[in-house]
Amino acid sequence: MLFFMETVISGLLAGVMYSLVALGFVLIFKASGVFNFAQGVMALFAALTLVGLLSGTTPFTHIDNPAFAMPAWVAIPLTIVVMIVFAILVERFILRHLVNQEQIILFMSMVGLAYVLEGAGDILWGSDVKVIDLGLPQGAWDWLLDGYGLYIEKIELVAAGTAVVLVAFLAVFFQKTRIGRALRAVADDHQAALSVGISLRSIWIIVWSVAGVVALVTGVVWGAKSGIQFSLSLIALKALPVLILGGFESIPGAIVGGLIIGVGEKLAEVYGGEIIVAIFGRWYEIDPGIFSATENWFAYVLALVFLLFRPQGLFGEKIIERV
């Protein structure tokens, strides 16, 4: 039982990480209908920038100069500024020119953006694996391990806490404020939004900036766990099944979707083999280790099943239309 709980909890915590990635996608998809393929790279880029500033790396040369090293309270706001500038550039050079274009064109531009940004990260900060040190706690939670025998990593709890705060903040911001309403308006109908005087451009900049901040949090949390490396940009793909589960337009969907995938993956990995053996074992000889590498594909199979039965996702807006 204890082992089962440990599996579920660590699944939930891993799920929070997926949720964070998915969140960035949802924000941008809601506002501009663009599937932001570059979200993973944005997380990587933000984390690289933050590490670069923290360790005083000179851009382009990749040489650390401790004299320029900034404390975290300077480096974090500065990184956010960098992500806002990035948002402005995206609006100025991509979105503005692609208004009212086909989805696929926007998507291709995002694929392009992902590669440009990845290259920029490489040129500016170098391609070696970096360690981020923001003083986030490492290792297992001692009292849980000693008292209950549960092995839970501290960093995962920190990630979960951060995600909760971030989501609560975004929920209030988008439901209760004028900008939130304007954002939902833009998501629904560009022309109508324009007619009431909502500026598409500023909404896009705001949304991309917020997505940039979410990317920074994602990058830091993932980076603290596994080092900041270029494979971080691939976590974008992990967000896809989460989005299919949760619905592309739903913030709660991104959260719940992430959690389901996280727990599902862990459970499948641990118990999947036994279950298969229990069912088919009397006819076939099956290696119980058959499910030990599920993490690579389980999420996608789950997403496929969902596509069959609930294509709009758990929380996706069902398109209500009177004909």
Partner 1 sequence: MNVMTKSTVTEDGRTIGGVLMAVDNITLRFGGVTAIRGASFDIREGEIRAIIGPNGAGKTSMLNVINGFYHPQEGTITFKGEQRHDMRPHIAATQGIARTFQNVALFKGMSTLDNIMSGRALRMKRNIFWQILYNGPARKEELEHRKYVETIIDFLEIPHIRRTPVGKLPYGLQKRVELGRALAMEPDLLLLDEPMAGMNVEEKEDMSRFIIDINEEFGTTIALIEHDMGVVMDLSDRVVVLDHGDLIADGTPDQVQRNQGVIDAYLGVAHD
Of 81 and 278, the one with the shorter C-beta distance to partner 1 is 81
Query: Residue 316 corresponds to which amino acid?
Result: G
Shortest distance in whole angstroms from residue 319 CB to partner 1: 8
Q: Report the residue number, 26 or 48, with the smaller CB distance to partner 1.
A: 26
Nearer to partner 1, 91 or 265 (CB): 91
Nearest CB to partner 1, comparing residues 170 and 228: 170
Min separation Cβ 117 and partner 1, Å: 25
Whats the size of the chain, residue-wise?
323
Of 295 and 317, nearer to partner 1 (C-beta) is 317
State in angstroms the smallest separation of the CB of 318 from partner 1. Answer: 9
Q: Do residues 62 and 29 make contact, with C-beta atoms less than 8 angstroms apart? A: no
Cα–Cα distance, 157 to 167 (Å, whole number): 15
Task: Say how far apart CA 42 and CA 21 lie, in whole Å.
Answer: 10
Residues in touch with partner 1 (CB under 8 A): 169, 172-173, 176-182, 184-185, 187-189, 191-199, 206, 317, 320-322
> Which residue lies nearer to partner 1 by CB, 26 or 47?
26
The beta-strand segments (E) located in the chain are: 57-58, 63-64
Cα 127 from Cα 60, distance rounded (Å) = 11
Distance between CA atoms of 317 and 15, rounded to whole angstroms? 22
Give Dmax over CA atoms of the chain in angstroms: 69
Nearest approach, Cβ of 197 to partner 1 (angstroms)?
3
Give least dist CB 73 to partner 1, A.
Answer: 19
> Please, is 22 exposed, middle or buried when counting C-beta atoms within 10 Å of its C-beta (0-12, 13-18, 19+)?
buried
Shortest distance (Å) from residue 104 CB to partner 1: 24
Task: Report which secondary-structure segment, H or E, holds 58.
Answer: strand 57-58
Burial of 288 (C-beta count, 10 Å sphere; 0-12/13-18/19+) = middle
Q: Are 194 and 200 within 8 A, CB to CB?
A: yes
Nearer to partner 1, 133 or 188 (CB): 188
Residue (92 or 137) nearer to partner 1, CB: 92
Residue 37 Cβ, how far from partner 1 at the closest point, in Å? 24
- Which amino acid is located at 137 in the chain? P
- Least separation in angstroms between residue 242's CB and partner 1 is 21
Helix axes 178-188, 200-226, angle to 10 degrees: 100
Helices (H), 227-312: 235-246, 251-280, 298-309
Q: CA torsion angle for 119, 29, 193, 199 (degrees, to 10)?
A: -20
